[in-house]
């Protein structure tokens, strides 16, 4: 999963922002990583978080441990925990989250359930993250375009 999304092109070369694939892994392993922590990591450490697998129970545990070690080594503090959803919205192909429905309507590109269910889990994750009210939504439409939905 080391492919970046096209809408992230302005920052992935330098990894100055946390790419969506790492955000996906953070939600999977239950760690809230601050951008200020990310900026303290070396390029190699950031790249390791991009490349390191985080799918199986063992990989998730290893990713979580590695990330906690990085944060502690750079900041002296442990990162905050995130609740890990037993059935996260991005794994549910049968229901489009309200935030995605609302944002799709706002940009004039409402999604159908057929479109939603055809997306990969990481694509659904991206649309959920980009549609939340506390997130800058400028990449929602570019993501829809990239996923051939607009």
Region of poorest pLDDT, from 9-13, 39-43, 57-61, 88-92: 9-13
| 2 band by pLDDT with thresholds 50, 70 and 90 | low
The pTM (predicted TM-score) of the whole model is: 0.91
Spatial distance between the Cα atoms of 107 and 26, rounded to a whole number of angstroms: 28
**pLDDT digits 0-9 by tens, 107-116:** 999 999 999 9
| 14 band by pLDDT with thresholds 50, 70 and 90 | confident
* Residue labelled with tokens 């944002």: 103
Hey, what's the torsion of the CAs at 93, 1, 43, 7, to 10 degrees?
A: -60
Decide which of 3 and 50 is more confident: 50
Which residue(s) pair with 32 in the sheet?
Answer: 80
At 141, list the tokens.
């439409």
**pLDDT digits 0-9 by tens, 114-144:** 999 999 999 999 999 999 876 667 899 999 9
Of 141, 140, 145, 93, whose CA–CA distance to 114 is shortest? 93
């Amino acid at each position: 999963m080391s492919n970046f999304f096209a809408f992230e092109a302005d920052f992935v070369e330098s990894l100055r922002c946390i790419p969506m694939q790492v955000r996906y892994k953070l939600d999977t392993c239950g760690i809230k990583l601050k951008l200020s922590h990310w900026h303290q990591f070396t390029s190699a450490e950031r790249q390791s978080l991009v490349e390191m697998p985080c799918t199986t129970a063992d990989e998730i545990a290893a990713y979580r441990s590695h990330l906690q070690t990085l944060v502690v080594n750079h900041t002296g503090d442990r990162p905050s925990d995130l609740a890990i959803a037993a059935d996260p919205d991005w794994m549910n192909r049968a229901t489009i989250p309200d935030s995605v429905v609302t944002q799709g309507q706002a940009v004039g590109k409402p999604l159908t359930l057929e479109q939603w269910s055809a997306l990969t889990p990481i694509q659904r994750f991206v649309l959920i993250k980009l549609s939340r009210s506390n997130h800058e939504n400028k990449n929602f439409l570019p993501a829809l375009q990239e996923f051939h939905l607009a």
